[in-house]
A and B are shown apart, each in its own frame.
Chain A
């Protein structure tokens, strides 16, 4: 039976200075941030802010200087991420590229691919999206049908991706395609790097229930790519994509998406709070603190070159449940007029609407708990 392994960590000496740096940068740009959307900050794009982070050396923190990185430690990166999220900064433009696309290219990509794309990502200028889900392949990702076939020394892509966050502002997609005709399930899949301005690629908006345009449909109609559009090894797409998921699932964004809600709730209580409200604050902060310990234990193991996939999904599911419950818990503890324009009301109204997506994106609650159950030896 595999359960959560605690890894002791020591926060880097540079942590306080890094925090100050992030807080100063946020303060400089804060006047532009859209109030309500701060409750879903890592999906909210603000290219100007992403470029500012890039200039400040706060992106690509762990990567080699050769590719525009800063050769800092995983925990230093963690400090920067959690500060950005706690401040509810709109980091959506570069988030996916910095979190998983560039690390994927650095691990599996060709030298050419790295030089072409990674420095721009570290600068906060190049954005990326994840092309996994399809209409017929959601939780059951292995039923991907979009295909890539060879034509001389080129690849030709056809098919459709859906729910692609940020495709409309992204420069590239890392997409999972069936590269071996007639292959089934996990076999015969490969990952491709697709510049989204390639002829034959069509991005169509999908408006979500809040009225925002965050995700999209992406169509591929005889999209012709050079041979080196393949990322990593042909036929190893499943393995590569699932390794990437550990990066996608373990970070502080799985429990800090709505931190600003908690902050604004406390601000509302500064003028007076009853016992029930104080208890709610205490309970939420106790949960937050435990999640942070869990997430940092994962970060420490990632830093040591391990792949704590099971711990990562535990943080994701527990974190999602936590942040999903916050708006309702606040609404039960305090009377709110959700049509009002005050910060707390705007944030609660908005986050109540987006909260359902927290336990869907990045793998649903049921799927993630299934992975935990496998670790427990039950499947």
Chain B
């Protein structure tokens, strides 16, 4: 990382933190999206020639962590990735990613159903399909069934008939998994901070909970899970900037998913009943972590896929393939 990268990321972080903090989970698409558009988040991964910010995946990680931390209920990340995939193609409106789809491309039209599409109801286009066969689909005429995910955010079903579609490079499943892993890292870091703060203030038996060793050990465990998710997300972003990140995507989504379940459980345990209320802010983070954990492939999907690749390569390549990922 050069000094310029660091400087750009500090600037991005300041901007994103300031804006996201004021909106967070209370975001309303119609009210708040214009501000995101104005700040150019959707163009984060587009080159400056394409009218974008010229950012890298490591820059996106900075924004994704903060979006996770503030439980930002807007498709900032989905649209940044979708916009990059359609760069140079004519698509209008907000782009998002479909974790799963059932349909067919015939010529330059696509018919079928897209499921669990984040903010599908607001989308102008959606990236769908498998790696190697991904398509960008114009969804302005989609028939929409509005649905809400575990996170409380829109996860809609879109039915399409002969919608305009163009092949694109890059699989929505893998890229969606990548941004979810990054968001989990951000949300878990924040849940840790909230928990550390809470146990320092809440008193029982005449002293702060933080003074009880059992509570300390739970928070230490959370801190380590958070560190593991962060490191996995960091390496994932670096690999996306390098070239192929199929290993890191599977590894980071799996590791972050494990961290999300352990971390969310511990955060609730140390909070007692207050954390189980609708009013207290913790659930905005924990419910999202648990939703993100299973979106765009959960641990079962990604760990099996990774395991299959490793076993196919064979025992003698397990270690050498792993270290080759980080060697020059």
Query: Which residues in A have some Cβ–Cβ distance to B below 8 Å?
Result: 1, 3-4, 6, 8, 10-13, 15-16, 19, 82, 86-87, 259, 262-264, 266-267, 269-270, 273, 275, 277-283, 285-294, 296-297, 311, 314, 317-318, 366, 369-370, 372-373, 375-379
A362 to chain B, nearest CB (A): 16
Indicate if the CB atoms of B310 and A266 lie closer than 8 Å: yes
Q: Across the interface, which residues of A come within 8 angstroms of B252, CB to CB? A: 286, 290
**Closest residue on chain A to residue B234 by CB atoms:** A6
Indicate if the CB atoms of A285 and B328 lie closer than 8 Å: no
Partner pick for A293 among B211, B234, B254, CB 8 A cutoff: B234
Further pairs besides A11-B326, A279-B307, A378-B210: 7, Cβ < 8 Å? A6-B230, A13-B328, A290-B231, A292-B322, A297-B231, A314-B223, A314-B227
**Closest residue on chain B to residue A376 by CB atoms:** B196
Partner pick for B223 among A290, A291, A293, A372, CB 8 A cutoff: A372
Chain B positions 304 through 328: 1 when the CB is less than 8 Å from some CB of chain A, otherwise 0: 1111101100111011101100111
The answer to whether residues A285 and B319 also contact, given A269-B311, A290-B231, A379-B211 and a CB cut-off of 8 A, is: no
The answer to whether residues A286 and B328 also contact, given A263-B315, A376-B223 and a CB cut-off of 8 A, is: no
The answer to whether residues A372 and B319 also contact, given A270-B311, A279-B307, A282-B305 and a CB cut-off of 8 A, is: no
Partner pick for B322 among A11, A273, A285, CB 8 A cutoff: A285
B29 to chain A, nearest CB (A): 33
Indicate if the CB atoms of A282 and B306 lie closer than 8 Å: yes
Interface check B302, CB cutoff 8 A: yes
Partner pick for A372 among B193, B224, B308, B320, CB 8 A cutoff: B224
Indicate if the CB atoms of B300 and A279 lie closer than 8 Å: yes
The answer to whether residues A281 and B311 also contact, given A369-B217, A378-B210, A378-B216 and a CB cut-off of 8 A, is: yes
Chain B positions 52 through 75: 1 when the CB is less than 8 Å from some CB of chain A, otherwise 0: 000000000000000000000000
Enumerate the 8 nearest inter-chain pairs by beta-carbon distance, A residue then B residue, closest first. A282-B303, A278-B307, A4-B227, A282-B307, A282-B306, A373-B216, A267-B315, A281-B307
The answer to whether residues A4 and B328 also contact, given A266-B315, A273-B311, A282-B305 and a CB cut-off of 8 A, is: no
Q: Across the interface, which residues of A come within 8 angstroms of B323, CB to CB? A: 15, 19, 82
Q: Across the interface, which residues of B come within 8 angstroms of A297, CB to CB? A: 231
Query: Which residues in B have some Cβ–Cβ distance to A below 8 Å?
Result: 1, 189, 192-193, 196, 199-200, 210-211, 213, 215-217, 219-221, 223-224, 226-232, 234-235, 238, 247-248, 250-252, 254-255, 258, 299-300, 302-308, 310-311, 314-316, 318-320, 322-323, 326-328
**Interchain CA distance A251-B16 in the complex, whole Å:** 36
**Interchain CA distance A311-B250 in the complex, whole Å:** 25
A26 to chain B, nearest CB (A): 12
Indicate if the CB atoms of B318 and A286 lie closer than 8 Å: no
**Interchain CA distance A188-B216 in the complex, whole Å:** 30
The answer to whether residues A288 and B228 also contact, given A370-B216, A372-B220 and a CB cut-off of 8 A, is: no
**Interchain CA distance A15-B247 in the complex, whole Å:** 20
**Closest residue on chain B to residue A86 by CB atoms:** B319
B98 to chain A, nearest CB (A): 24
**Interchain CA distance A275-B232 in the complex, whole Å:** 24
**Interchain CA distance A82-B307 in the complex, whole Å:** 22
**Interchain CA distance A126-B300 in the complex, whole Å:** 49
Partner pick for A294 among B228, B316, B318, CB 8 A cutoff: B228
The answer to whether residues A289 and B314 also contact, given A282-B303, A376-B196 and a CB cut-off of 8 A, is: no
Q: Across the interface, which residues of A come within 8 angstroms of B255, CB to CB? A: 286-287, 289-290
Indicate if the CB atoms of A369 and B221 lie closer than 8 Å: yes
**Closest residue on chain B to residue A288 by CB atoms:** B322
Q: Across the interface, which residues of A come within 8 angstroms of B196, CB to CB? A: 1, 376-378
Q: Across the interface, which residues of A come within 8 angstroms of B193, CB to CB? A: 1
**Closest residue on chain B to residue A296 by CB atoms:** B326
Q: Across the interface, which residues of A come within 8 angstroms of B304, CB to CB? A: 275, 278-279, 282
A101 to chain B, nearest CB (A): 28
**Interchain CA distance A293-B232 in the complex, whole Å:** 7
**Interchain CA distance A82-B327 in the complex, whole Å:** 13
Q: Across the interface, which residues of A come within 8 angstroms of B251, CB to CB? A: 285-286, 289-290
The answer to whether residues A289 and B232 also contact, given A270-B311, A317-B224, A370-B213 and a CB cut-off of 8 A, is: yes
Q: Across the interface, which residues of A come within 8 angstroms of B216, CB to CB? A: 369-370, 373, 376, 378-379
The answer to whether residues A286 and B232 also contact, given A262-B318, A266-B318, A279-B304 and a CB cut-off of 8 A, is: yes
Q: Across the interface, which residues of A come within 8 angstroms of B247, CB to CB? A: 289
Indicate if the CB atoms of B318 and A285 lie closer than 8 Å: yes
Partner pick for A270 among B211, B213, B248, B315, CB 8 A cutoff: B315
Q: Across the interface, which residues of B come within 8 angstroms of A266, CB to CB? A: 310-311, 314-315, 318
The answer to whether residues A15 and B328 also contact, given A285-B322, A378-B219 and a CB cut-off of 8 A, is: yes
**Interchain CA distance A291-B230 in the complex, whole Å:** 11
Indicate if the CB atoms of B303 and A286 lie closer than 8 Å: yes
Q: 26 pairs across A/B with beta carbons < 8 Å?
A: A10-B328, A15-B328, A19-B320, A19-B323, A263-B318, A263-B319, A266-B311, A267-B314, A278-B304, A278-B307, A281-B303, A282-B302, A283-B254, A285-B318, A286-B306, A290-B228, A290-B231, A293-B234, A314-B224, A314-B227, A317-B224, A318-B227, A372-B219, A373-B217, A376-B220, A378-B211
Q: Across the interface, which residues of B come within 8 angstroms of A8, CB to CB? A: 1, 234, 238
**Closest residue on chain A to residue B248 by CB atoms:** A289
A38 to chain B, nearest CB (A): 14
Indicate if the CB atoms of B227 and A282 lie closer than 8 Å: no
**Closest residue on chain A to residue B221 by CB atoms:** A369
**Interchain CA distance A3-B210 in the complex, whole Å:** 16
**Interchain CA distance A291-B62 in the complex, whole Å:** 21
Q: Across the interface, which residues of B come within 8 angstroms of A285, CB to CB? A: 251, 306-307, 310, 318, 322
**Interchain CA distance A270-B199 in the complex, whole Å:** 48
Partner pick for B224 among A296, A318, A379, CB 8 A cutoff: A318
Q: Across the interface, which residues of B come within 8 angstroms of A288, CB to CB? A: 322
Indicate if the CB atoms of A11 and B327 lie closer than 8 Å: yes
A264 to chain B, nearest CB (A): 7
**Interchain CA distance A294-B228 in the complex, whole Å:** 7
* Residue of A13, A16, A372 with most partner-chain B CB within 10 A: A372
Q: Across the interface, which residues of B come within 8 angstroms of A314, CB to CB? A: 223-224, 227
**Interchain CA distance A369-B196 in the complex, whole Å:** 14
Indicate if the CB atoms of A11 and B192 lie closer than 8 Å: no
Q: Across the interface, which residues of A come within 8 angstroms of B215, CB to CB? A: 378
Q: Across the interface, which residues of A come within 8 angstroms of B234, CB to CB? A: 6, 8, 293
Indicate if the CB atoms of B299 and A4 lie closer than 8 Å: no
